Structure 1
Amino acid sequence: MPASKLYAGGKLRELRLRLDMPQKAFAGRLGISLPYLSQIENNHRPVPAGLVLALAREFGFDVNELSAGEPDRVVADLREVLADPVFADTPVPDADLGLMAANAPALAHALLSLHRTYRQTTERLASLDEALGREGSGVAPLPWEEVRDFFHYCDNYVDAVDRAAERFAAAAGLDGEGRLARLADWLAERHGVTVIRHRDGPLRAFDRSARTLSLSRRASPESQAFALAHQVALLDHGDLLDATLDFARFRTEDARDICKIGLANYFAGAALLPYRAFLAAADETRHDLDRLADRFEASLEQVAHRLSTLQRAGARGIPFFFVRVDQAGTITKRHSATRLQFARFGGACPLWNVHQAFEQPGRFLRQLAETPDGVRYLCLARDISKPGHAFRAPMRRYAIGLGCEIRHADRLVYADGLDLGAPDAFEPIGVSCRICERRDCHQRSVPPMERNLQIDHDRRDIVPYRIA
């Protein structure tokens, strides 16, 4: 089968603008004509292999960036937005969405932002109507979605913060046992902060005037280490976090403040699981989450989340998707470096094994799955319980999902014993019912928004309609 042609004009144009070079000078460095460069930047021609090599030679460009997954994410988000009934009279083919994501990414993001604002306004109006008759109603604030989109579109990898965390881990000696003591010593020696532990109160509390950092004894050792590394991020690298936030240009202070917590958390995870050491260990153990958690004194959730962030230019890991859901099926964390993109609104597909994890606690569940676009995945799921440490204290229960495309499965220990070549071994899953095109799904909860329905009063099947 011939290799597919690479159309990456947007990435090429982005590189040229980042270098602040006019088209003529850029074309000259690459040894091509100005009209030819213009055709490539407008995706009228594919990027030839010779030009890829020239990019690497002349500008040290990581060629993996040419096939990075942002256009796929944008197309998936646009497809979901256009499934809204407000666009019912204007169907847009996927080919047009691909062109928009590749050639006009700024316009695509503007459309996504516009729809998000429309949706928020609609929800607030509905909430206001409800509040007239009943107190206590409300909607999710926009700042959380803004922050989610920030991490979503930077591929869940923030290079400057990741590298700073890796340097800190080496300087603080976090590569062996006794990390809690080393982190506490760092805070004491560099910032005069004393770490104390209490039985009641918040998981982490920093008193700036007293220079004390209180940690809850109820938290696990890995959570305590994460909290200490989080505080290091705020005290040692506040300027770096603020510069990253300036670059993000959030519309509200709430979004900025929320994202600062997210960046400090990112630093903490990257410090406890340093990039190069963790990537090497992941390859060595064939991505065995239990062994990685034991080696780095981390939780399974921390390890799974970290695997989904290994997207450093020139040293990329396997592209994973990572998701965390609660018992109601609500997605509380989501990221995908694969072609599988999660629904922005609503829950995940009920046929996905992540929902079954609550029924079989303490076990990794494996699933071979195929999405409507024909892409096949190896999916893992595991329940994660967070105890309350008291008889009447509530236990928080989540399930995490981690997976990759089947072409990477041989690098995972979890693929052992599975028949990856059997077509009937792959279960059909979707993204969410509202945009799923499958016509014969026995678990469909709502009809797809962009398909006409056929209602037959004399016939009833699993669902009371047929999808045209």
Structure 2
Amino acid sequence: MAQKLYAGAKLRETRQRLGLTQKDFAAKLGVSLPYLNQMENNNRPVSTSVVLSLAQEFGFDVTELSTGDSERLVSDMREAMADPVLAEVAPPLADLRLTASNAPALARAFLELHRAYRQTHERLASLDEALGRDDARSQTSPWDEVRDFFHYCDNYIDAVDRAAERFANPTGPEHNIRVRAVTALGARGITVDFAETPVLRRFDAEAGVLTLSHRAAPETQTFQLLLQVALLEQDKLLEATLDLARFQSSESRAIAKIGLANYFAGAALMPYTAFLHAAQEVRHDLELLATRFGASIEQVAHRLSTMQRPGAKGIPFFFVRVDQAGTITKRHSATRLQFARFGGACPLWNVHRAFETPGRFLRQLAETPDGVRYINLARDVSKSGGSFGAPVRRFAIALGCEVAHAPALVYADDLDLNKPKAFEPIGISCRICERVQCHQRSVPPLERRLTIDVNTRDVLPYDVG
């Protein structure tokens, strides 16, 4: 049976963006005013005829009515509700889903409140260090605030993406993006210099010199050139985007500006339309795409997770990067799979095994506790220091999507997608995972009761009720 589509908040947001009253909007959709009111309040599902009318009347991308944003909010609220302080009052999952779909602003306010509580709690736990300091008050971490900004934008910033695509598709004869970047900088009187230095990029505005490390890989050098182009040529666009985001601190704004410049660089290196067509043509072969666009494997994987342009969406991928300790350093998901906001990733993900097989792609069929199945791809992307004795930065990345999209991936060839035992059970993180028999569990789930028998020792030293 097809799942009913409840998208009241999105429907209401669309109407308000178009500047229509409920009466006018209902007339254009061919429904009665009471019926529209019930759909906007999630008392009725969005009907097929309304979906078709949205597409025909307004050119609306109906995939935007999907529950991706609600699923993110539900996942984040479930993790927050697993906090011991809320253990006795945690609402059922159905209530969380209603809140995410009917009152998303309230859900985000709750998450912001819980995050502030956690940070206050952590500061009090180290009070001996915090006493007497002016910055001992609780405030949102700039890194978390910026990460959430991109997370809830679906990691797609339309204005910046289109500006990068225009830059990458010139009307003149020069199509080499690296040469275009150097030419654009030269037009501003800036000289590009390659030096023997461990610093990737240094811009001296007064001298008009951009210095790049000679040690860096060519794709990294090109990326840094494009990043500097973004900071100089697209400054007004970046600042306008930051104004709309309304960050809480100057630190958050500065970090977000670097993030937007990075976004521009990736989108110019791999312009949306050309990259989407190429990805479909080679069935998302990361190595072929890296060669075609002069990018690194990590840059290609990250770009695939941003292909969410309305009307021209690619496969909804999740992308994550972890270090050797299992700490998530980058995360984004356009799928129903969400990542833990606190702590590390599930140890059963193949991304953790990628360090053991450098230079190789690892494939994994996995199933989350909600029964959704995925195909995951993992590989190490360790970064050399560029000289003997220089420290190596070790990371691994994972890219994946729901198994329904497997035919469009070259990595799914010869995998038995119809064999239930081929799918490894994975979770989000141990603290909110519902699997009670997991042999790799590191901590008990916070929302379940434990039974401890001193006379029995199984895989775990306790039973989860």
The normalised TM-score by structure 2 is 0.96
For the structure 1 residues 173 and 426, does the alpha-carbon distance in structure 2 shift closer, same or farther, using more than 3 Å as the test?
farther
Q: How far has the Cα of 1:172 moved from its partner? A: 7.8
Identity score, percent:
67
- Aligned counterpart, 1:80: 79
- Counterpart of 2:52 in structure 1 is 53
Q: 1:21 to 1:131 in 2, by over 3 A?
A: closer
Q: Aligned partner of 1:187: which letter?
A: L
Q: Determine the C-alpha separation between the residues in 2 that align with 1:453 and 1:130.
A: 34
Aligned position for 1:196: 193
Whole-angstrom distance in 2 between the partners of 1:182 and 1:34: 54
Q: What is the deviation of 1:104?
A: 0.2
Kindly state the Cα deviation for residue 126 of structure 1 after the two structures are TM-superposed.
1.8
Shift of 1:68: 4.9
Partner letter of residue 231 of structure 1? Q
Residue 130 to residue 440, structure 1, CA distance change in 2 (3 Å)? farther
Q: How many equivalent residue pairs? A: 461
Matches within 5 A, 1:92-103: 92-103=91-102
Mapping of 1:184-223 within 5 angstroms?
A: 184-189=182-187, 191-223=188-220
For the structure 1 residues 6 and 174, does the alpha-carbon distance in structure 2 shift closer, same or farther, using more than 3 Å as the test? farther
**Which residue pairs with 2:7 in the alignment?**
8
Kindly provide the CA deviation profile for residues 35-92 of structure 1, in whole angstroms up to 9, marking residues without a partner as x: 1111000101011111111112222211111115101111110111100111011121
Q: How does 1:290-309 map to 2 (within 5 A)?
A: 290-309=287-306
Instruction: Give the structure 2 partner of residue 333 of structure 1.
Output: 330
CA distance, structure 2, for counterparts of residue 127 and residue 217 of structure 1: 43
C-alpha distance in 2, partners of 1:449/1:140?
Answer: 25
Q: Is structure 2 residue 445 aligned with structure 1 residue 414?
A: no
Which runs of 5 or more structure 2 residues have no equivalent in the other structure? Answer: none
CA distance in 2, matches of 1:419, 1:229: 42
The answer to whether the 8 Å contact 1:320/1:337 transfers is: yes
Alignment partners' CA distance in 2, 1:314 and 1:354: 32
Matches of 1:14 and 1:131, distance apart in 2: 43
d(CA) in 1 for partners of 2:111, 2:173: 41
With over 3 angstroms needed to count, the CA separation of the structure-2 counterparts of 1:403 and 1:94, relative to structure 1, is same
What displacement does 1:375 show? 0.5
Kindly provide the amino acid, as one letter, of the partner of residue 273 in structure 1: M
Q: Give the corresponding residue for 2:446.
A: 449
Distance in 2 (alpha carbons) for counterparts of 1:329 and 1:111? 27
Structure 1 residue matching 2:126: 3-state secondary structure: helix
Q: Which residue of 2 aligns with 1:267?
A: 264
CA distance in 1, matches of 2:91, 2:458: 30
Choose from 283, 287, 309 the match for 2:284: 287
- Counterparts of 1:305 and 1:68, CA distance in 2: 22
Q: Cα gap change, 1:275/1:112 in structure 2, threshold over 3 Å: closer, same or farther?
A: same
1:376 aligns with 2:388: no
1:82 is matched by which residue type in structure 2?
Answer: M
2:110 is matched with 111
- 1:141 shift after superposition: 6.9
SS of the residue aligned with 2:394? Answer: strand
Q: Is the 8 A contact 1:324 1:331 kept in 2?
A: yes
CA distance in 1, matches of 2:313, 2:56: 20
Letter in 2 for 1:161: V
Indicate yes or no: 2:177 matched with 1:179.
Answer: yes
Task: Give the aligned partner of residue 386 of structure 1.
Answer: 383
Using the alignment, how far apart are the partners of 2:307 and 2:177 within structure 1?
A: 22
The answer (yes or no) to whether the contact 1:369–1:378 under 8 Å persists in 2 is yes
- Residues 322 and 403 of structure 1 are in contact (CA less than 8 Å); yes or no, is this contact kept in structure 2? yes
Q: Deviations over 1:172-223 (max 9, x none)?
A: 87995x533332112102x111101110252111111111111010111100
Paired with 1:194 and 1:201, the residues of 2 have a C-alpha distance of 19
Return closer, same or farther for 1:329/1:141 CA change in 2, 3 Å cut-off.
farther
User: CA 1:459/1:237 → structure 2, altered by over 3 Å: closer, same or farther?
Assistant: same
Equivalent residues of 1:174, 1:182 under 8 A apart:
no
| 1:6-30 Cα shifts (integer Å, max 9, x gaps) | 1111100001111222212221222
Q: Give CA-to-partner distance per residue, 1:274-309, whole Å, 9 cap, x none.
A: 001000010010100000000101000000000000
The question of whether the paired residues in 2 share the 8 Å contact of 1:172 and 1:182 is answered with: no
CA contact (8 A) 1:78 1:112 kept: yes
Inter-CA distance 348–174: structure 2 relative to 1 (3 Å threshold): farther
User: What secondary structure sits across from 1:52 in the alignment?
Assistant: helix
Deviation for aligned residue 1:140: 11
What secondary structure sits across from 1:385 in the alignment? coil
* Contact 2:7-2:67 at 8 Å conserved across structures: no
Q: Which amino acid aligns with 2:400?
A: G
Residue of 309, 312, 329 corresponding to 1:312: 309
Partner residue in 1 for 2:359? 362
Report if aligned partners of 2:322, 2:329 keep a CA contact under 8 Å in 1.
Answer: yes
What is the CA RMSD across the aligned residues, in angstroms?
A: 1.8
Secondary structure (helix, strand or coil) at the match of 2:230 reads: helix
Q: How does 1:338-357 map to 2 (within 5 A)?
A: 338-357=335-354
Does the CA contact (< 8 Å) of 2:116 and 2:139 recur in 1? no
**Off by >4 Å, runs of 4+ in structure 1:** 172-176
2:199 maps to amino acid? P
* TM superposition score normalised by structure 1: 0.96
Q: Which residues of structure 1 form unaligned runs of 5+? A: none
Contact kept, 8 Å, 2:174 with 2:180, in 1: the verdict is no
